[in-house]
Amino acid sequence: MENMDWGALGFDYRKTDANVRYYYTDGKWSEMEVTGDEYIKIHMSASCLHYGIELFEGLKAFRGVDGKVRLFRVEENAKRLQSSAERLCLPVPTIEMIVKACVEVVKRNEKYIPPYGTGASLYLRPVMFGTTAGLGVKPAKDALLIVYCSPVGAYFKDGIKPISVAIDREQDRAAPRGTGDVKVGGNYASSLLSGENGHKLGYSNIMYLDAAEHKYIEECGACNFFGIKEGKYITPKSSSVLPSITNKSLRQLARDMGLEVEDRLIPVEELPTFEECGGCGTAAVISPIGKIFDMQTNDIYEYGTEVGKVCMELYTRLQDIQYGRAEDKYNWCTIVE
């Protein structure tokens, strides 16, 4: 890929050489199929198109300082994919199937893994959906699991910097006991309107509150939220928040740094007490928050224009593991050879 401008890549799809697929029909999974075809052929009455029987995952492979390629916490993504499949009554692939598919995709597209030092990485997107043709609302008997990839650029082109976030109390992302804790497309579709409204006002992300009382912080756009104060790393505990693998990793690193970790309800009124706060997820690792604006109350919470010390250390520690600059003492990385 000599002509690729790795530094110019954004977070978007670029064609690669191969993707892998598993088909579920007649009560069993097929062998893994490797193809260069970017398209799928499904019936116009397929259940995924009408009833949202669809899920996905996102993870990254990194070319390290030592030249080795590392897949970050692929087994955790596989477990979360299983949870999503169970919730949607889809056939549940094994962890071994999912991991094997991810490793194969990395191997088959090795030339698209950005060089170390560019800040870019190879993003993997497992996606699964029901393909049974029919009209009634019922579980799909047939399914397709695809894993494909695309090189993506550094989230912060000019270095990590704080973002501005808006609270929207007039739209909910997910209801209690709904699908907020699994990675299904409907959760993201429901966030589009408020997201667009926020972007028009100049805000990067929308902060969602709990759907029942609109008192407690839940997701921050497509990210988990966390706040730092008094030597504590605090993140929302809710049945409608997606269990972020990045957040899970940061909680462990926070403990390593001597911080106390709290998973609990976070009322909006607590926002002024945080010394630092941010969103966390696969794309950016950490998006430090510099400002939060409440679109309904006009309250403004500000945390400064510079990245906080704790956010910066957490970000650096996690990136050091992903790029092989630090010991992977928790065995989070899978070396692809």
**pLDDT of amino acid 290:** 97
Whether pLDDT at 2 is above 70: no
pLDDT digits (tens, 9 = 90+) for 279-327: 999 999 999 999 999 999 999 999 999 999 999 999 999 999 999 999 9
- 278 assigned to some structural domain: yes
Angle of the 309-322 helix axis to the 245-256 helix axis, nearest 10:
110
Q: Is 229 helix (H, G, I), strand (E, B) or coil?
A: strand
Residue 121 lies in a domain: yes
In this structure, the number of other CB atoms found within 10 A of the CB of residue 192 comes to: 10
b/e string for 296-306 if b means 16 or more Cβ within 10 A? eeeeebebeee
- From the list 36, 40, 4, the residue with the least C-alpha distance to 18 is 36
C-alpha angle 106-109-113 in degrees, rounded to nearest 5:
80
Tell me the whole-structure pTM to 2 decimals: 0.96
Q: Domain range for residue 194?
A: 161-321
Helix (H, G, I), strand (E, B) or coil at 194: helix
Give ∠ CA 320-325-326 in degrees, rounded to 5. 75
Same domain, yes or no, for 142 and 49?
Answer: yes
**pLDDT at residue 60 greater than cutoff 90:** yes
Task: Assign 24 a pLDDT band (cuts: 50, 70, 90).
Answer: very high
Residue 55 pLDDT greater than 90, yes or no: yes
- The whole-angstrom distance between residue 271's C-alpha and the CA centroid of its chain comes to 24
In this structure, the answer to whether residues 122 and 226 fall within a common structural domain is no
pLDDT tens track for 81-107: 999 999 999 999 999 999 999 999 999
Is the predicted pLDDT of residue 155 greater than 90, yes or no?
A: no
Instruction: Say if residue 188 is in the same domain as residue 280.
Output: yes
Indicate left, alpha or beta for 248 from its phi (over 0: left) and psi (-120 to 50: alpha). alpha
Amino acid making up residue 43: H
Same-domain pairing of 171 and 53: no
pLDDT, tens digit, for every residue of 163-201?
Answer: 999 999 999 999 989 999 999 999 999 999 999 999 999
Among 119, 130, 121, residue whose Cα is nearest residue 149: 121
Find the angle CA(75)-CA(81)-CA(86) to the nearest 5 degrees: 130
- Based on the domain organization, do 218 and 307 belong to the same domain? yes
pLDDT at 157 over 80: no
* Domain count of the fold of the chain: 2
pLDDT at residue 3 in the model: 79
Indicate which residues carry an active-site annotation: 183
pLDDT band at 8 (very low <50, low <70, confident <90, very high): confident
Size of the chain in residues: 337
- Domain co-membership, 245 together with 269: yes
Q: Is residue 335 part of a domain?
A: no
Same domain, 75 and 181: no
Asked if residue 167 and residue 144 are part of one domain, the reply reads: no
92 and 144 share one domain: yes
User: Could you tell me which residues are beta bridge partners of residue 63?
Assistant: 69
Do 119 and 69 lie in one domain? The reply is yes
